Homo-oligomer: A and B are copies of this chain.
Amino acid sequence: MRSPTELAQVFREKQLKLTPQRQLLFGLLHDNDSHPTAESLFEIASKQMPGISLRTIYQTLGELADMGELQLVDLGNGAMRFDPNMGEHQHFVCGSCGAIHDVDITSAPKLRAGSAEGFAVEEIGVVFHGRCDRCNRPNHGEQVSQHSKRSPGIQAKKIRQVKQASSN
């Protein structure tokens, strides 16, 4: 995503108003690598601008995504994540603390079309699951700070979908 200043420029050009709500979000998203959800942005935004609507957060995030300033990342666990990093990259999800880290694609490109027999592959999505650096350290307390409000049933087992590799 571009800087708040640059975005302001773009918005003006498109006759989109530079509302305080939007400016606030520009700031919160700029260089933000936490892969926030609409809800988490709402909480933070609410501190600086009490009364801001969650609806507006969704609205603005949607606009930014439409403008190609944000990536929508669905990791299959609850809410959508918003990523201002538009560079070609993948994600690593820590099953212990829930943190989401960027992963540079190094070997991913290799799996290209080769894998899809007969189909015209345009895009490939990859999500790594495991334990992050910190959670791997001896005493880490198993603090699952990420309490995805969504129930555990099917959700918890979705990980089964991606059972593979990493072992050979």
Contacts and interface: CB of A to CB of B under 8 A. Distances in A.
Interface of A: 58, 61-62, 65-66, 71-74, 76, 80, 88, 90, 92, 94-95, 101, 103-133, 136, 153-154, 157-166, 168
B166 A74 contact: no
Q: Is the interface of A mostly helix, strand, loop or mixed?
A: mixed
A89 to B, nearest CB: 8
Contacts of A160: 65, 71-72
B103 A116 contact: yes
A129 B133 contact: no
A127 B124 contact: yes
Contacts of A101: 119
20 contacts: A71-B163, A72-B158, A73-B161, A74-B76, A88-B163, A92-B119, A103-B116, A104-B115, A105-B164, A108-B115, A108-B164, A111-B111, A112-B166, A112-B168, A119-B128, A119-B131, A122-B131, A123-B159, A123-B162, A124-B164
B124 A128 contact: yes
B128 A161 contact: no
The 8 A-B residue pairs with the shortest CB-CB distance, nearest first, are A125-B162, A74-B76, A122-B130, A121-B130, A107-B111, A123-B129, A125-B127, A123-B162
Contacts of A110: 107, 110-111
Contacts of A154: 58, 61-62, 65, 72, 80
